[in-house]
Amino acid sequence: MRTTLVVCMTISFLAVLTMSVVTRAGRTVASKPNDTLAADRAGIEKLRKADIDATLTQDPSALTMLWSDDGVNLQSPAGPVVGLKALNELYAKFRVEHPEFKVLKYSPEFKDLQIVDGWAIESVDANGTFKMSAKDDPVAVQQKLLRVLKRQSNGSWKFALVSPR
């Protein structure tokens, strides 16, 4: 029941956010001072770099720090993962279960970015190569993702939602 509620809330949130971005994007970006837009873009770029670094190292703490307090990860095969505690547990459990897992390459391609009122939405092709263990062959993957980002009170940006698209 909880999973269904989380999925319904997430879909509703995405629908409202998308409508807001579509209906107000031109007006908001045009009226937003250039320095604020530049600061938002710089903060998002900092999050992107932190995402690449954390993904390459697979450090559970670094991966968890990418998320807002109420972040929702819809990439887990077990279903939605909601909140920092659950996200940290997911990353720590994976690390324990797969101690030799190594990301060899991670190079996300950012296809689109819309910023509106402290929220951003971006489309990402996350390209990577990993090995489950030292003896395994490398595996190349490409995930198509939709990421919703949230500006924090200190001006930094974090993931609010990451979903396959």
The confidence band for 125, taking pLDDT boundaries of 50, 70 and 90, is very high
pLDDT digits (tens, 9 = 90+) for 51-97: 999 999 999 999 999 999 999 999 999 899 999 999 999 999 999 99
* Residue pLDDT, tens place only, 98-110: 999 999 999 999 9
112, pLDDT greater than 70: yes
Residues of the chain above pLDDT 70, percent = 80
Judge: domain 2-164, CATH 3.10.450.50.
yes
Q: What is the pLDDT of residue 32?
A: 52
Domain boundaries, the chain: 2-164
Which own/partner pairs from 83-86 qualify as long-range (CB within 8 Å, at least 24 positions apart)? none
pLDDT at 24: 46
pLDDT, tens digit, for every residue of 33-47?
A: 678 999 999 999 999
